[in-house]
Amino acid sequence: MSDVVITHVDQVSAEWLTVVLTARGALTRGSVVHVKADSGGGNWSENARLHLHYSEDAQGDLPVDLFLKLVDTDTGDGEFFGPSEVTYYTRDYVTVPEAPLLRCYDSAYSEEQRRYHLLLDDVSATHVRALDVKPTPAFGLALAEGLAVMHARWWGAERLQEAGESLHSADFIRRFATIAAPGVTPQLTLVADQLPAGSAELLADIFRHHPQQMVARTTDPNGFTIIHGDANALNILVPRVGTQPIYIIDRQPFDWSLTIWLGVYDLAYLMVLWWESDVRHALEEPVLRHYHAHLRTNGITDYSWSQLWDDYRLAVVKCVYVATEWCRGGNVANCAKHQWIWFPKLLQALTACNELRCSELWRQ
């Protein structure tokens, strides 16, 4: 990790890239002689695709295209990102060779500046967003394998302690639920007649009982790990040809996010909120069984299929919070502006809750 945070693409020079790539072992001889930057941006970041040219004597991996991400950790509404995305690439999985991560050549995080940067492989020539292709069984199985590799690394209390992490407290979990709950009223005001029958009652039941069910689940650390938390179809890159490798990008949790949680939530998040119900029906169980099998391959042998299935159902309910959080301010007018985003997610999450009988988890 570098000592200095890059805050603007103009700071990137051929000389700087030569030093960085040499230190990373990607350039073993020669130098970068020219760099061209194509700038862009995301929700909370600026970025640039860098095109590199090397001296004639250059040797090494010699990446030609790199992706520079520049992040202001202030989201603009009183919330901040921490160093999670930096540690994602530089600490959490550096000893896991099959982890579905882009190669990181340089990074820096400054709490004082509230900024960080990442210099990553640019795979746009070979990969597209998962959003841009129809989910297939092969993709679902590849994702299950990748997440199993990542989740197994920090699975359970003992391994989490190695990373300086621990399960969230009951108060933290309840705070998470409290942030999402105010979104229910404005959403029902806008779309109650478009939701499945009994949705208002189900939502009330969820926010009354599910937070405590999440708290109760933390009494057994088996199943908990460092999660991505936002493994959506925009944050997963899939090959233009074939099924491997996939890459999971953009881990940027808010300070109220549940970052240590049931690993299977990362699969629930995608399948419930981003897949049409018919796709979920077809792929849900095969993907989960493949995930379970690959947890075992990666050393997690004391986590039963029945426990995974119950944890998945608990995670499905948590997907409701993702939808209602869009309207957490409680303002109907502001909620209406984002209806095109949250309504499909709320509908799909409630549908899954009904189909999987998730409320039975707290009625047993």
Mean pLDDT throughout 65-94?
88
Question: Do residues 239 and 260 both lie within one domain?
Answer: yes
Classify residue 2: in a domain, yes or no: no
For residues 26 and 360, give the distance between their C-alpha atoms in angstroms, rounded to a whole number. Answer: 54
CATH of the domain at 289: 3.90.1200
* Domain co-membership, 145 together with 193: yes
Going by C-beta distance under 8 Å and a sequence separation of 6 or more, which residues neighbour residue 286? 137, 140, 141
pLDDT of residue 82: 87
CATH number of the CATH domain containing 14: 3.30.200
Same domain, 179 and 323: yes
**pLDDT for the residue 94:** 92
Say if 350 falls within a structural domain: yes
246 shares its domain with 337: yes
* Residue 116 and residue 135 in one domain: no
Which DSSP symbol is given to 181?
G
- Is 224 contained in some domain? yes
- The pLDDT tens digits of the residues spanning 111-161 come to 888 899 999 999 999 999 999 999 999 999 999 999 999 999 999 999 999
pLDDT of residue 78: 66
Question: How many helices (H) does the chain have, and how many strands (E)?
Answer: 12, 10
Q: How far apart are CA 355 and CA 340, in angstroms?
A: 23
Task: Indicate whether 110 and 202 sit together in one domain.
Answer: no
Q: Average per-residue pLDDT in the chain?
A: 94
CA count, 13 A, side-chain hemisphere, 208: 9
Reported as half-sphere exposure (CB side, CA atoms, 13 A), residue 110 has a value of 14
Say how far apart CA 135 and CA 238 lie, in whole Å. Answer: 10
Same domain, 112 and 141: no
State the average pLDDT over residues 91-108: 95
Dig out the tokens for 209 from the structure: 């009982």
Q: Give, for 124, the enclosing helix (H) or strand (E).
A: none
Q: How many residues does the chain have?
A: 364
Q: Residue 327: is its pLDDT beyond 70? A: yes
Alpha-carbon distances, residue 79 vs 63, 181, 257 (angstroms): 35, 18, 11
Q: Is 108's pLDDT higher than 90?
A: yes
pLDDT at 323: 97
Alpha-carbon gap, residue 159 to 194, rounded angstroms: 45
Burial class (CB in 10 A: 0-12, 13-18, 19+), 33: middle
In a domain, 1, yes or no: no
81, 142: one domain: no
Residue 37: count other Cβ atoms within 10 Å of its Cβ. 15
Segment among 77-86, 218-227, 310-319, 352-361 with least mean pLDDT: 77-86
Q: Is residue 31 very low, low, confident or very high in pLDDT (cuts 50, 70, 90)? A: very high
Is 188 found in the same domain as 85? no
Residue of higher predicted confidence among 297 and 252: 297
The residue among 74, 99, 121 that closes a domain is: 121
User: Is the model more confident about 8 or about 150?
Assistant: 150
Give a yes or no: residue 339 inside a domain. Answer: yes
Q: Is residue 44 part of a domain?
A: yes
* 281 and 174 within one domain: yes
Radius of gyration of the chain from its Cα atoms, rounded to whole angstroms: 21
* Number of domains making up the chain: 2
Question: Is 3 inside a domain boundary?
Answer: no
Quick one: pLDDT band at residue 60, thresholds 50, 70, 90? very high
Spatial contact of 295 and 152, defined as CB atoms under 8 Å apart: yes
Answer yes or no: do 78 and 43 share one domain: yes
- Rounded mean pLDDT of 197-226? 97
Given 87, 104, 121, the domain boundary residue is: 121
Residues 111 and 135 in one domain: no
- Looking at residue 113, its pLDDT comes to 87
Which of the listed residues 121, 146, 173 is the one where a domain comes to its end? 121
Look up the domain containing 105 and give its range: 9-121
58 domain-assigned:
yes
pTM score above 0.85 = yes
